[in-house]
Amino acid sequence: MEQQYEHGVNTKIIHAGRRPCPENMALSTPIYQTSTFGFDEVLKTGIPRGKYVYSRFSNPTNTMLEIKMAALERGDCAVSFGSGMAAITAAILTMLKSGDHLIADEVLYGSTYEFLNKGAPRFGFEVSFVDTSDTDQVIDAIKDTTKLIFFETPANPTLKLIDIKAITEIAAEAGLRTIVDNTFLTPYFQRPLELGADVVVHSATKYLNGHGDALGGIIIAPFEFAEAVRAGVLRDMGGALSPFNAFLILRGTQTLSVRMERHAQNAREIAAFLKKKAEVNEVFYPGLDRKLAHSKSLREQMSGFGGVVSFEVHGGLNESLKFLNSLKLCTLAVSLGDTASLIEHPGLMTHSVVPKGDRDRIGITDGLIRLSVGLESVEDIKADIEQAFDQK
Asked if residue 56 has pLDDT above 70, the reply is yes
Give every strand in the sheet of 77-81, ordered side by side. Answer: 77-81, 217-221, 199-203, 177-181, 146-152, 101-105, 126-130
The architecture CATH gives domain 256-390: Alpha-Beta Complex (3.90)
Predicted pLDDT at 282: 96
Confidence of residue 91 (pLDDT cuts 50, 70, 90): very high
84 contacts 324 by C-beta, under 8 angstroms: no
Question: Mean pLDDT over all residues of the chain?
Answer: 93
CA geometry: angle at 25 spanning 22 and 31, to 5°? 75
CATH of domain 9-253: 3.40.640.10
Predicted pLDDT at 26: 72
Predicted pLDDT at 193: 98
Q: Beta strand 342-344 with 368-372: parallel, antiparallel or unpaired?
A: antiparallel
Residue 256 CA to residue 352 CA, distance in Å, equals 30
Asked if residue 250 has pLDDT above 70, the reply is yes
343 contacts 324 by C-beta, under 8 angstroms: yes
Look at the chain and count its residues: 392
Confidence of residue 343 (pLDDT cuts 50, 70, 90): very high
Q: Beta strand 146-152 with 199-203: parallel, antiparallel or unpaired?
A: unpaired
Predicted pLDDT at 51: 81
Confidence of residue 24 (pLDDT cuts 50, 70, 90): low
CA distances 177 to 100, 104, 212, Å, are: 12, 12, 32
Predicted pLDDT at 20: 62
Predicted pLDDT at 294: 80
Give catalytic residue positions: 56, 109, 181, 206
CA distances 238 to 172, 215, 370, Å, are: 32, 15, 32
- pTM across the whole model: 0.93
Predicted pLDDT at 4: 66
Same fold, 9-253 and 256-390: no
- Going from N- to C-terminal start, the domains of the chain cover 9-253, 256-390
Rounded percentage of the chain residues whose pLDDT exceeds 70: 94
Confidence of residue 64 (pLDDT cuts 50, 70, 90): very high
CA distances 254 to 35, 77, 264, 339, Å, are: 26, 19, 17, 14
Residue 46 CA to residue 25 CA, distance in Å, equals 31
Asked if residue 143 has pLDDT above 70, the reply is yes
